[in-house]
């Protein structure tokens, strides 16, 4: 009898936690879904096993499907169904295809900006979990679909301000354990963003 009660208690706690996660995800989506444009300062930090590099840049976003992250020597620009970038192993203009790694990458940012985390999870096979610490709500998506090769990101982490629910940071973790961190600062919301930022 005690074993049955313990199992029932565990199930009830799990259901309660899932309900809390869902409520937080819905609130994040509701707040960030109201943001139509923003521009911000952007810090990109790449952490590998033996080396850490960091660069400063600018970030521009126009809902629902345009953003540009620009640095001194690198950039990533998404304009509807195309991406133009010179970052890491990618250099050129590519069409975003369903299920492709670059579409997945672009949606990490676009959906993160708009709080569409459940949509991102559904598209990419992520299991979502949440926690709150140090003034932030942290939503972690961990891959649950087994991949034949370790391409893409096994985990994505979104950090939202606990008070405003607006986005602060995105962390990408690849299959080698490398971290690619994008920290957003000095954000100006609902400003006129020059469309030339997204042209290529």
Q: In what order do the strands lie in the sheet with 179-189?
A: 90-95, 82-87, 75-79, 66-71, 52-62, 37-47, 179-189, 167-174, 153-161, 136-143, 126-133
Domains and CATH numbers, the chain: 2-198 (2.50.20.10)
Among the ranges given (12-21, 78-87, 96-105), the one the predictor scored with the smallest mean pLDDT? 12-21
pTM of this structure: 0.87
**β-strand partners of 125:** none
User: In the chain, pLDDT over 90 holds for what percent of residues?
Assistant: 76
Give the integer Cα–Cα distance in Å for 54 and 46: 6
Could you tell me which residue, 46 or 146, shows the higher pLDDT? 46
Counting every residue, how long is the chain? 200
Q: What is the pLDDT of residue 6?
A: 40
Other C-beta atoms closer than 10 Å to the C-beta of 86 total: 13
In order, the DSSP letters of 127-152 are: EEEEEEETTEEEEEEEE-SPPSS--S
Residue pointed to by tokens 């199992």:
7
pLDDT (tens digit, 9 = 90+) per residue, 9-55?
334 333 444 667 999 999 999 999 999 999 999 999 999 988 999 99
Inter-residue contact 152 to 104 (CB < 8 Å): yes
Across all residues in the chain, what is the average pLDDT? 89
3-state SS class at 160: strand
User: Quick check: 163 pLDDT over 60?
Assistant: yes
- pLDDT band at residue 146, thresholds of 50, 70 and 90? low
Closest CA to 66 of 76, 57, 56, 74: 76
Q: What is the pLDDT of residue 129?
A: 96
Could you tell me which residue, 8 or 61, shows the higher pLDDT? 61
Q: What is the pLDDT of residue 185?
A: 98
User: Quick check: 84 pLDDT over 80?
Assistant: yes
Q: What is the pLDDT of residue 178?
A: 95
Give the integer Cα–Cα distance in Å for 32 and 188: 14
pLDDT (tens digit, 9 = 90+) per residue, 48-77?
988 999 999 999 999 999 999 999 999 999
Q: What is the pLDDT of residue 65?
A: 96
């Amino acid at each position: 009898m005690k074993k049955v009660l313990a199992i029932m208690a565990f199930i009830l706690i799990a259901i309660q936690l899932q309900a809390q996660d869902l409520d937080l995800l819905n609130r994040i989506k509701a707040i960030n879904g109201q943001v139509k444009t923003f521009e911000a300062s952007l810090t990109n930090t790449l952490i590998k096993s033996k080396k850490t590099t960091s660069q400063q840049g600018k970030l521009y976003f126009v809902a629902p499907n345009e953003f540009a992250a620009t640095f001194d020597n690198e950039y990533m620009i998404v304009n509807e169904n195309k991406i133009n970038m010179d970052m890491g192993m990618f250099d050129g203009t590519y069409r975003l295809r369903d299920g492709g790694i670059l579409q997945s990458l672009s949606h990490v940012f676009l959906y993160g900006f708009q709080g569409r985390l459940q949509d991102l999870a559904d598209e990419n096979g992520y299991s979502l979990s949440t926690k709150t610490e140090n003034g932030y709500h942290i939503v972690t998506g961990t891959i649950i679909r087994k991949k034949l090769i370790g391409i893409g990101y096994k985990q994505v982490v979104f950090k939202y301000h606990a008070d405003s629910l607006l986005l602060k940071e995105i962390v990408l973790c690849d299959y080698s354990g490398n971290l690619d961190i994008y920290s957003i600062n000095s954000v100006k919301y609902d400003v006129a963003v020059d469309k030339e930022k997204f042209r290529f």
